């Protein structure tokens, strides 16, 4: 009887298939990591929109106007007292002063009806739930995202319109 020897190991085809799968997975991971700036900026725009919505609800609950001061590297919340003074909301666990992540900045703040000045006007959140329409643009290197507020009180993050859409 002739003994048949079986070699243990992998065939060339099996090794090639495993290598192909590894290359595909690494490529997908590389694509996820390459889009990190865009995701980071989008997440910060979403965070700002949610905080503005919370500040809007706080204004309604307090029956007072809340002011959001936008600075180049961060923002902070204040409440307008009956005497007309702004008091910081530092005691609020959620609406405390915040700084933007490294390399991120507010590139523009546009508030409907606000006069052009060197100082950025604050976003005012009324106790009625209505707000003056605004657009806050966040920028990280060449990428930008916006937080847009409309008169009816809707506040949402959105990617800015493409260059060709703006010209139309």
> What is residue 26's three-state secondary structure?
helix
**Confidence (pLDDT) at 33:** 60
d(CA 160, CA 7): 61
As beta bridge partners, residue 87 has 79
Ordered per-residue pLDDT tens for the chain, 168 residues? 666 666 677 788 888 888 889 988 888 777 666 557 788 889 999 999 999 999 999 999 889 999 999 988 899 999 988 898 988 886 668 888 999 988 899 888 888 877 666 678 888 899 998 888 999 999 988 889 999 999 888 999 998 776 434 444
- In DSSP notation, 88-151 reads E-TTSSSSS-EEPPTTEEEEEEEETTPPP-SSPPPEEE-TTS-B--EEEEEEETTEEEEEEE-T
**Confidence (pLDDT) at 152:** 85
What is the tens place of the pLDDT at every residue in 27-40? 877 766 655 778 88
Contact 67, 86 (CB under 8 A): yes
| Residue the block writes with tokens 């949610």 | 50
**Confidence (pLDDT) at 166:** 45
As given in the structure block, the two tokens for residue 103 are: 């390399």
**Confidence (pLDDT) at 82:** 87
**Confidence (pLDDT) at 34:** 55
**Confidence (pLDDT) at 164:** 39
């Amino acid at each position: 009887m002739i003994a048949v020897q079986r070699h243990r190991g992998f065939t060339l085809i099996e090794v090639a298939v495993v290598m192909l799968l590894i290359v595909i997975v690494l490529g997908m991971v590389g694509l996820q990591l390459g889009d990190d700036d865009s995701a980071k900026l989008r997440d910060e725009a979403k965070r700002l929109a949610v905080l503005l919505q919370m500040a809007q609800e706080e204004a309604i609950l307090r029956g007072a106007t809340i002011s959001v001061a936008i600075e180049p590297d961060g923002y902070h919340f204040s409440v307008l007292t009956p005497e007309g003074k702004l008091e910081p909301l530092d005691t609020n666990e959620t609406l405390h002063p915040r700084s933007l992540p490294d390399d991120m900045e507010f590139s523009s703040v546009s508030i409907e009806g606000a006069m052009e000045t060197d100082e950025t006007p604050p976003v005012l959140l009324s106790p009625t739930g209505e707000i003056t329409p605004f657009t806050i643009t966040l920028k990280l290197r060449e990428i930008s995202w916006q937080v847009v507020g409309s008169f009816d009180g809707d506040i949402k993050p959105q990617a800015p319109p493409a260059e060709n859409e703006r010209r139309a």
